[in-house]
């Protein structure tokens, strides 16, 4: 748990609420938290869902692991402590985006259950949707879109999730997308259908 360092700080509330912004945008500000092994399809799926929703007039924001590590989290590595801080910051940023009324999608391995649960705890009930992008390790390794598994097996990358660092599967995710069995189009349809059923977006 991160300690609050500053004292004498007060929350300054504005007249425009999250609900006002949601009304303007005609959608619910929520966080779709994609979690899974490297190569499971988190980035591919989140960006494809964004495209589909954008066509339907919805404003989304995808926060992607490597991109965030280029900026906001460039001072963090892959030790357990840094992974925890990485996810804590992303959790706070995704809360800000969802407060702005956006359908916020995050594509981080986020291997630790307690870190994901901590983010869930930042948000109201129903605002945090955990999507387990599930794939057997051997398929992820075969895909190896960034060549990272090869490097990890060769010992060139330490603490690589699935090889030399743990991945804790979600126990109660809102949605499981098995990309070992479903192609991208089916996976996108499943996510969009879920959002319609939960009335996060209107049916097309």
Under the rule (CB under 6 A), what is the footprint of ligand ATP? 36, 38-45, 65, 107, 109, 143, 145-146, 179, 182-184, 187
* In the complex, least distance from residue 193 CB atom to ligand ATP, rounded to whole angstroms: 15
* In the complex, least distance from residue 125 CB atom to ligand ATP, rounded to whole angstroms: 27
* In the complex, least distance from residue 187 CB atom to ligand ATP, rounded to whole angstroms: 4
Nearer to ligand ATP, 40 or 119 (CB): 40
Of the residues 38, 40, 110, 187, only one is catalytic, namely 110
Nearer to ligand ATP, 172 or 183 (CB): 183
Radius of gyration of the chain (CA): 17
Nearer to Mg ion, 100 or 182 (CB): 182
Rounded to whole angstroms, how far apart are CA atoms 85 and 32?
19
* In the complex, least distance from residue 113 CB atom to ligand ATP, rounded to whole angstroms: 17
Q: Which two tokens stand for residue 172?
A: 């109660």
- Residues 143-162, interacting with Mg ion (CB under 5 A): none
Q: Which does 182 bind (CB under 5 to 8 A by kind): ligand ATP, Mg ion, none?
A: ligand ATP
**Is residue 110 annotated as a catalytic residue, yes or no?**
yes
User: Which residue carries 């995704």 as its tokens?
Assistant: 94
Nearer to ligand ATP, 41 or 170 (CB): 41
- Residues 90-129, interacting with Mg ion (CB under 5 A): 107
Rounded to whole angstroms, how far apart are CA atoms 111 and 34?
11
Letters for 34-53 (x = contact with Mg ion by CB under 5 A, - = none) are: ---------x----------
Q: Report the catalytic residues.
A: 110
List of residues contacting Mg ion (CB under 5 A): 43, 107
């Amino acid at each position: 748990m991160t300690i609050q360092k500053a004292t004498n700080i007060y929350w300054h509330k504005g007249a425009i609420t999250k609900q006002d912004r949601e009304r303007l945008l005609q959608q619910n500000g929520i966080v779709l938290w994609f979690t899974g092994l490297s190569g499971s399809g988190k980035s591919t799926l989140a960006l494809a869902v964004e495209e589909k929703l954008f066509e339907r007039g919805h404003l989304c924001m995808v926060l992607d692991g490597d991109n965030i590590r280029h900026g906001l989290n460039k001072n963090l590595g892959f030790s357990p402590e840094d992974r925890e801080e990485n996810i804590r910051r992303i959790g706070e940023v995704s809360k800000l985006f969802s407060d702005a009324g956006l359908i916020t999608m995050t594509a981080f391995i986020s291997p630790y259950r307690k870190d994901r649960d901590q983010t869930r705890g930042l948000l109201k009930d129903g605002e945090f949707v955990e999507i387990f992008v599930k794939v057997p390790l051997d398929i992820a390794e075969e895909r190896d879109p960034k060549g990272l598994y090869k490097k990890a097996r060769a010992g060139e990358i330490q603490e690589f999730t699935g090889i030399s660092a743990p991945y804790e599967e979600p126990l109660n995710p809102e949605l499981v997308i098995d990309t070992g069995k479903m192609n991208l189009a089916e996976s996108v349809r499943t996510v969009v259908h879920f959002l319609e059923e939960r009335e996060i977006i209107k049916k097309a």
